[in-house]
Every structure is written in C-alpha cells, then in structure tokens.
Structure 1
Amino acid sequence: MIAVLLTAVMTVGCQSLWNGGTNVRTTDTAEKSGTGELRTGLEPLTKRFPALDDVEQARWMSGTLGSDRAPGPSTYWIDAVVTLPESKIDELKSAYAPESTGKSPEVVEGLRAELPTGTFLTSDRLDQAFSHDKWFAKAYLVPDRRALVLVATGT
C-alpha cells in the first residue's frame, strides 16, 4: 500500500506535458511576494552589493520567492533602480562592455513606474560585477539617466 501511494505521489509531482511528440517537463516560475513597500534606504543595498559603493539614491522593493508554506530556507529577491555618479556609469560601461538588450528589465509591478526611459545595456560580465556570495544579479545600465537596474535573488 505504501509503495502504491509513494508511486502516485511521485507521478503527480513529476508530471510532464506531451508537446508535439516531445516530452517536456513543465514547472511554474516562483512568484515574488513582499510587503509592496517602495524603499529608499541605501544601506541594505550597499551591504548586499558592494559594487554599489557610491550610489546616490535608490528606489527598490524586496521579498521572498514562492510560497511561505514550503519548509526550508527562503530565497529572497530585490528589484532596484539606483542612480550613480556619471563617473561610475562610465567606469561600468568601460569595464564590462554592456550592450543593448532591446527590452526593459522585468521588475515587480510596484517598481515599474520607477524604471528609467532609455536604452538598457547589459552583459554577463556586468551581472557578475553585482553578483557575489549567495546573490545572483542581473544588471542593466541606462547611461543617459545615470541609472542602474538590479534584478537580484539570493539566500
């Protein structure tokens, strides 16, 4: 009886979708949840992202990914729009050679109005400059607005 129950649970948990003759496993993307508070404090950002050592101002939101019903450690997210000195923007462009993405970063609804207008530049090397320890960041520069957008997750 236990073997039958275990098999049923595993079958449901590992279901796949048959798509055009190809067996494709599907998963839902973990949703961002948080308080909805638009924050402006710099210390939580500079503490987690040392490369933001000279940020002038920031607008950001944070929270956890997925459901709080699941046991275990949480995965946190931070979406931020920060203003940097022009010299820092020039330094980042020179050091990491970001290129146009052709689209805006995907941030939480409450931060979308804060996204700067302009061309978003990114590169793997720029992402790595803001990723460290247990944080992975996707970084986007908007040089004309002296802006950097971070979309980060970590533990």
Structure 2
Amino acid sequence: MLALGAVTVLAACTSTAKSAEDAKVRTDLEPLERRFAALGPLSGAHWLGTALGTDSRGSVPGPTDVRMVGTARLRAGAVAAITSAPQRGFRPEEPPRLPQKLAEFVPKGARWVRSDSFDRDMTGGTYSGAFYLDPGTDTVYFDTINPGISASSGP
C-alpha cells in the first residue's frame, strides 16, 4: 500500500520538462513553412513541438501552450539578405535554451545574430518568439511559444 502511495505522489510531482524529454525530433517542413512563411522555403529542419504546463494529475483541461523550437536551413544567401538591413539592428547573440535533443543538429561554430525588430516582424506581435540567424550556414534557430499560422500561407 505504501508503494502504491509513493508511486501516486511521484506521478503528481512529475516535472513539465518530461514532455520535452519524450518529444520526438521532427523533420517535416510544412508546419514550419506555414508559421514562418517570411523565411521562405526551408530545408534540413530538426525541431521539437512540446506542450508546456502539462501534468499527470488530471487537472482541469484548459489551453495548453506549445513550444516550437529547432533549426532549419534557408535558401542560399537568404540570411545575408535578411541581416543586411541596417534598420533591423542585428547583433551577435547565442540562443539561451537549446534542448539537448537538438544539440547535434546545430551547426558547429555558428555565429548567431538576432534582432528584436526582426522577431517582432516574424511574430506579428501575436506570440512570443526569438529567431537566431547564422549567415555562414543560412540556418535559423527558432524558439517560439504558440506560433500562429502566417496570414500569407493560406487557410
């Protein structure tokens, strides 16, 4: 009986990080291209979609925030074109919360740059997100919460 009680207590205290640990690395492009249409065609994507705030206690169902985080390649020269706009104010900045499952897919020696202005344009002010770009590999690292479908991507 004590063992059953201990299992119940442990299940109730399960960290929300477990959902990220259990997530499978995805490579499909369509969900990313629909949400991040301004980046243009993508390739070589590796990303996670994880529910935040989920627990195993059987709490009242409600809205669930979804974190989409990962990397993808843009067409050749796209990152240089994006980052060359002086009004954007791109500056060197490393992504802060890289999930371990994605570490092997991040370009070695990447020189990430980020712009608050570009982030605002990408999110349209409707969700939170940060977009780090590496001009040397034409790679984007994105970390977003509840990214909506881009209006330009259709229904």
**TM > 0.5 fold call:** yes
CA distance 1:120–1:43, shift in 2 (3 Å): same
Distance between the aligned counterparts of 2:42 and 2:125, measured in 1? 20
Larger Rg: 1
Higher relative contact order (CA 8 A, sep 6+): 2
Deviation at 1:149, TM superposition (A): 0.3
The answer to whether residue 89 in structure 2 is matched with residue 89 in structure 1 is no
In structure 1, the gaps of 5 or more residues are 1-29
Q: CA RMSD in A?
A: 2.2
Correspondence for 1:39? 26
How many residues are aligned here? 125
TM-score (norm. length: structure 1):
0.70
Distance between the aligned counterparts of 1:144 and 1:60, measured in 2? 20
Hey, which of these two has a bigger chunk of strand by percent? 1
Q: Deviations over 1:69-123 (max 9, x none)?
A: 553100001111011123311221023331111x344122211221122211011
Deviation at 1:38, TM superposition (A): 1.1
TM-score (norm. length: structure 2):
0.70
2:140 alignment partner AA = L
Q: Percent identity?
A: 26
Secondary structure at the residue paired with 2:83? helix
**Does the aligned pair in 2 maintain the 1:105–1:140 contact within 8 Å?**
no
Distance between the aligned counterparts of 2:18 and 2:49, measured in 1? 8
CA distance 1:55–1:74, shift in 2 (3 Å): same
Correspondence for 1:109? 100
Correspondence for 1:62? 49
